[in-house]
Amino acid sequence: MAPIAPGVPAIIIDNFYQNPEAIREAALDQSFSPATAMYPGRLATFTGQPSLVRAVDWVKNFVNQQLLPRIPLTRDGQRVTRFETLQTDFGIVDTLPQDLAPAQRAPHVDPAPIFGIVYLNEEDRGGTAFFRKTDAERQPQREGYFADTDAGFEKVGRIDGVFNRLAIYPGFIWHTAEVGDWITSDARIRSPRLTQRLVFVD
């Protein structure tokens, strides 16, 4: 475990899947539906493939055994010592900058205390940027995706979106996907930004 910014611990595991190309292909074959709220794209539910089931179980056990003893998470005044459920799905970012909802133009926090992501792009499709809120009153007025220090948020760190990299970090830290100029080209359809999301719940 290593901090990616002061007060932002993270676990990075490279070469997570033995055959990530097959995982990407299988994921892209799923039926994706428009996401709601913060996600600027489409989501597909977990397929239940045996290899994915094993991977999800491994991640849940790893966090329970290795991460929670080192990060004092609390819920309702009690320390969280174990997650019983890990929800997962696949996400494609394909919303054009001009079509973003106002809430999608700024960093956000997740409802889950711990969040995981597997980057499944051989081409550079960006990683995850982390921020500190500096002005509670000021709201971003950007026309597109948020990527750097601006409008009430200071960028404090990032995780590079290396192909087949698993990253696990606190969901309550302000963050956003790094989405570059590729989003306005045919790469948005031809080779979209695909990630697997892992949400730790009760």
Q: Write the CATH number for 116.
A: 2.60.120.620
Q: Which of 130, 143, 137 is nearest to 175 (CA)?
A: 130
- Length of the chain as a residue count: 202
What residue numbers bound the domain in which 97 lies?
2-201
Looking up tokens 């539906």 gives 33
Phi, psi of 111 (to 5 degrees): -70, -15
**Could you read off the pLDDT tens digit of each residue along the chain, which spans 202 residues?**
777 777 778 999 999 999 999 999 999 999 999 998 789 999 998 777 788 889 999 999 999 998 888 887 877 778 888 999 999 999 999 999 999 998 899 999 998 889 999 999 999 999 999 999 987 666 656 678 998 888 789 999 999 999 999 999 999 899 999 999 999 999 999 999 999 999 998 7
Quote the CA–CA distance of 163 and 168 in Å, as a whole number. 15
Residues 6 or more apart whose Cβ sits within 8 Å of residue 119: 125, 127, 161, 162, 163, 164, 165, 167, 195
Neighbours of 86 (CB within 10 A): 20
Q: Label the pairing between strands 193-201 and 85-93.
A: antiparallel
How many structural domains are present in the chain?
1
Q: What is the model's pTM?
A: 0.93
Q: What is the DSSP string of the chain?
A: -EEEETTEEEEEESS-SSSHHHHHHHHHTS--EE--TT-SEEEEE----HHHHHHHHHHHHHIIIIITTTS--EETTEE-----EEEEEEEEE---GGG--GGGGS-B--SSSEEEEEE--SS----EEEEEE--SS-----SS---SSBTTEEEEEEE---TTEEEEEETTSEEEE---GGGGSTHHHHS-EEEEEEEEE-
